[in-house]
Amino acid sequence: MSSAGNVIPLREAAPGGTVTIRLPGPFEMWHGGILPEVRLACETWGKLNAARDNAVLLFPGLSPGPHAASSAENPTPGWWEYMIGPGRPIDTRHYFAVCVNSLGGCFGTTGPASIDPHTREPYRLNFPELAVEDIAASAHGAVEALGIERLHAVVGASLGGMAALAYAMQFPDGLDDLVAISSATRATPFTIALRSLQREIIRNDPEWRSGFYAPGKGPREGMRLARKLGLVSYRSAVEWQQRFARERVKTAAEEQTPFGIEFEIEAYLEHNAQKFVDCFDANAYLYLSRAMDRFDAAEHGGTVEAGLARIQARRTLVIGVETDFLFPMQQQEEIAASLYSLGRNVTFVPLASIHGHDAFLIDRERFAPVMARFFAEA
């Protein structure tokens, strides 16, 4: 794959900013489909050095886009603001950080809402089957397009952690270091149950119209309720006990609506679910969600262990969170133990955070020192 002519040049004057990278030629999907063209929305921070060996690839989770941190171009705080920047754990005075928006998603990357060049219509459900491996391979294409042969590190949490593992299995020579946070080598039936139910709630909304909703429209109620279920699974009972306990809302919607909002926790869910509805394409959500269910490291070698054996990272950091019941600590232990038994240099850090699966987004106090040390020791 050649990168010639495919890079929208990074502005030297403004470190950080948005680039859209078009991959050269058709893109072959993991399960056999083909995308005639792929555009990837990316953001970058810091500068690629002359040796081109200081790049850190970040994979987002299921719902965020590529805006992981603020930049001169976009000063809005990103989803991993505390992690990326000058003097931060991924220190952009030294590292060139790149966040590639997931293939199959929205936010400017090719996905089910994109126009199929063959039909001039949105792909919708004609988008080919998506795998986590496609997210990894398309990001690899972006990395090549940026003229990077080998990454200093690949980092991801949640779906991003699955993608980071996939990247390291698919392109074993493509990275020095690997960071997998609250990730999984394969989905458990418990998480399949939750995601399957989210998808069914979305599909059950008549406005989904079997995927044929008008652009910008769609199953808003289904997305809102599915997002609430997501939120329930992303945090922890302990955090909510401390934060909300049994506080009532000041003006109970119950007074207007039978069975309406009465407790603060219900208002919190409603507020956060509403924010999500307006910014995520429903079909993209369905594709990404199912890709998580189907991800299985065993596809890389017959067994999970054989799949992980493909990983050749010089160092691997595995982080788990005690209160995460979606990607539980045991799954992180298993990844670390497998790599250790294969003779790899692996550091396993269990964190006693109360913030559940989302801890990497919130618990700066626990995550920042662990990440800073790992990157400083490189």
Catalytic residue list: 158, 324, 357
Closest CB 352 distance from a second copy, rounded Å? 15
- Parallel/antiparallel/unpaired status of strands 39-45 and 96-100: antiparallel
Radius of gyration of the chain (CA): 20
Cβ proximity of 327 and 191 under 8 Å: yes
- Check binding of 14 to a second copy (CB under 8 A): no
Pick 40 or 286: Cβ nearer a second copy: 286
Q: Of 119, 149, 150, 190, which lies in the binding site for a second copy, with binding defined by CB under 8 A?
A: 190
Cβ proximity of 310 and 300 under 8 Å: yes
Closest CB 278 distance from a second copy, rounded Å? 18
Q: Of 193, 279, 352, 376, which lies in the binding site for a second copy, with binding defined by CB under 8 A?
A: 193
Where does the chain show beta strands of DSSP type E? 17-22, 27-28, 34-35, 39-45, 55-59, 84-85, 90-91, 96-100, 115-116, 121-122, 151-157, 175-181, 315-321, 346-351
- Check binding of 259 to a second copy (CB under 8 A): yes
- Check binding of 212 to a second copy (CB under 8 A): no
Binding residues for a second copy restricted to 338-357, rule: CB under 8 A: none
Read off φ and ψ for residue 224, nearest 5 degrees. -65, -45
Q: Of 216, 258, 302, 343, which lies in the binding site for a second copy, with binding defined by CB under 8 A?
A: 258
Torsion of CA 311, 58, 270, 249, to 10 degrees: 100
- Parallel/antiparallel/unpaired status of strands 115-116 and 27-28: unpaired
Half-sphere exposure of 192 (CA within 13 A, CB side): 9
Cross-strand partners of 58:
99, 155
Please identify which residue in the block is written with the tokens 């056999």.
32
Pick 2 or 210: Cβ nearer a second copy: 210
Cβ proximity of 296 and 83 under 8 Å: no
Stretch that binds a second copy, among 25-33, 36-44, 90-98, 182-190 (CB under 8 A): 182-190
- Check binding of 265 to a second copy (CB under 8 A): yes
Reduce the DSSP state of residue 158 to 3 states and report it: coil
- Check binding of 333 to a second copy (CB under 8 A): no
**Residue 207 has what DSSP assignment?**
G
Closest CB 201 distance from a second copy, rounded Å? 6
Instruction: Mark residues 271-310: x for contact with a second copy by CB under 8 A, - for none.
Output: ---------------x---x--x--x--------------
Closest CB 257 distance from a second copy, rounded Å? 8
- Check binding of 107 to a second copy (CB under 8 A): no
Reduce the DSSP state of residue 170 to 3 states and report it: helix
CA distance linking residue 255 with residue 104, whole number of Å: 42
Q: Of 125, 279, 352, 376, which lies in the binding site for a second copy, with binding defined by CB under 8 A?
A: 125
Pick 8 or 125: Cβ nearer a second copy: 125
Stretch that binds a second copy, among 67-75, 81-89, 93-101, 181-189 (CB under 8 A): 181-189
Closest CB 264 distance from a second copy, rounded Å? 8
Please identify which residue in the block is written with the tokens 């790049």.
55
- The residues that touch a second copy, with contacts defined as CB under 8 A, are 125, 186-194, 196-197, 199-201, 203-204, 210-211, 221, 225, 228-229, 231-232, 236-237, 240-241, 243-246, 258-259, 261-266, 269, 286, 290, 293, 296, 325, 328
